């Protein structure tokens, strides 16, 4: 048997340790088999999902085995990874992102599928309605409405004051990517901010975008939602640090790694909550009858150390609203 790289595969019980990639692999008798496909690499999202399972009484190797695959920010890999886990014979398939959910929907109409962190599962043609998804899919939504994009820009202006021109990274690897940028453009007109958009879906386009931003005279940077940016987090944060750019992110993980600020629902929490849908399905529920869960809280997170390095002051008003990372 060939050696398995930890970045490709995380062990969660004997099934995974012994036969992680064999098409005919079998979990021990009485153990639920869950497939998990992440649009990014190993990290907080899969950790949150496994934590959610443990909170519900599932113990890796005793009553559950989880086979994990990672697209590493390359959405074109998702259909193949989904097919691989279906062939493995999982009982439930968990997929991250709207693109991942679409790949699963195209691959099977019978296997229960739980999506985690879809930007807009209705607009993305994944489910019929949030209340009654229908078919074999349900999951958790991030509920990104058009209004959130304007909030990103408003908060960035409040924090950094001088943000124009503001570079914007968006990617069509998120099906709502173009919509986010259009909403940002509408907000920018009201706030008198000039936007400098940059699109990328692969390494070559990303390198071109970073070169363009470096030479653009940008005063700030907004990174819109996409697994592609998560997979390239280090490059983006290095750019911001080198050019002293105040940044707004969609995911607090960026802030924990050195980005200035983020606003939105917790993506890790969406993955943790996906475990609840998995639990209900394993107990006999029909996924099409389980409402899509939406976030109840949007968090503003600010990195105090990064703010200080940029010479920015976190106002009392923002301190009241934000969770500050020291």
Q: What is the pTM of this model?
A: 0.85
Residue length, the chain? 326
Distance CA 213, CA 93 (A): 39
pLDDT string in tens for the chain (326-residue length):
333 333 333 333 334 433 334 434 455 567 999 999 999 999 999 999 999 999 999 998 899 999 999 999 888 999 999 999 999 999 999 999 989 999 999 999 999 999 999 988 998 899 999 999 999 999 999 977 768 999 999 999 999 999 999 999 998 776 677 788 888 999 999 999 999 999 998 899 999 999 999 999 999 999 998 888 988 999 999 999 999 999 999 999 999 999 999 999 999 999 999 999 999 999 999 999 999 999 988 999 999 999 999 999 999 999 999 999 98
Distance CA 290, CA 138 (A): 6
Distance CA 29, CA 26 (A): 8
Residue 36 CB contacts under 8 Å (≥ 6 apart), including other chains: 46, 49, 66, 67, 68, 69, 85, 93, 94, 95
SS3 at position 211: helix
Distance CA 18, CA 236 (A): 37
Distance CA 276, CA 130 (A): 16
- Which domains are present in the chain? 14-143+267-289 (3.40.50.2300), 147-264+299-325 (3.40.50.2300)
Two tokens, residue 152: 């990103």
């Amino acid at each position: 048997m060939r050696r398995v790289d930890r970045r490709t595969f995380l062990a969660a019980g004997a099934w995974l340790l012994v036969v992680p990639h064999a098409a005919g692999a079998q979990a021990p008798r009485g153990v639920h088999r869950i497939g998990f496909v992440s649009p990014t690499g190993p990290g907080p999202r899969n950790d949150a999902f496994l934590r959610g399972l443990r909170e519900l009484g599932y113990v890796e190797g005793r009553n559950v085995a989880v086979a994990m695959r990672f697209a590493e920010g390359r959405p074109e890999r998702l259909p193949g990874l989904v097919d691989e886990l279906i062939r493995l014979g999982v009982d439930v398939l968990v997929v991250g992102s709207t693109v991942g959910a679409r790949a699963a929907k195209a691959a099977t109409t019978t296997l229960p599928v739980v999506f985690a962190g879809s930007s807009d599962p209705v607009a993305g043609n994944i489910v019929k309605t949030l209340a009654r998804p229908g078919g074999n899919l349900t999951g958790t939504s991030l509920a990104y409405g058009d209004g959130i994009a304007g909030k990103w820009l408003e908060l960035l202006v409040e924090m950094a004051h001088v943000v124009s021109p503001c570079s914007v990274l968006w990617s069509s690897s998120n099906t709502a990517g173009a919509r986010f940028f259009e909403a940002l453009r509408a907000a920018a007109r009201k706030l008198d901010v000039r936007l400098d958009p940059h699109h990328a879906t692969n390494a070559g386009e990303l390198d071109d975008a970073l070169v363009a931003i470096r030479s653009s005279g940008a005063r700030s940077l907004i990174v819109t939602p996409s697994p592609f940016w998560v997979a390239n987090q280090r490059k983006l944060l290095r750019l911001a640090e080198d050019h002293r750019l105040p940044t707004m992110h969609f995911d607090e993980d960026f802030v924990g790694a050195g980005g200035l600020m983020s606003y939105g629902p917790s993506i890790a929490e969406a993955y943790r909550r996906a475990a609840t849908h998995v639990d209900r399905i394993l107990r006999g529920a029909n996924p099409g009858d389980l409402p899509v869960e939406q976030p109840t809280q949007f968090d503003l997170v600010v990195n105090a150390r990064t703010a200080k390095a940029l010479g920015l002051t976190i106002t009392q008003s923002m301190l009241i609203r934000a969770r500050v990372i020291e």
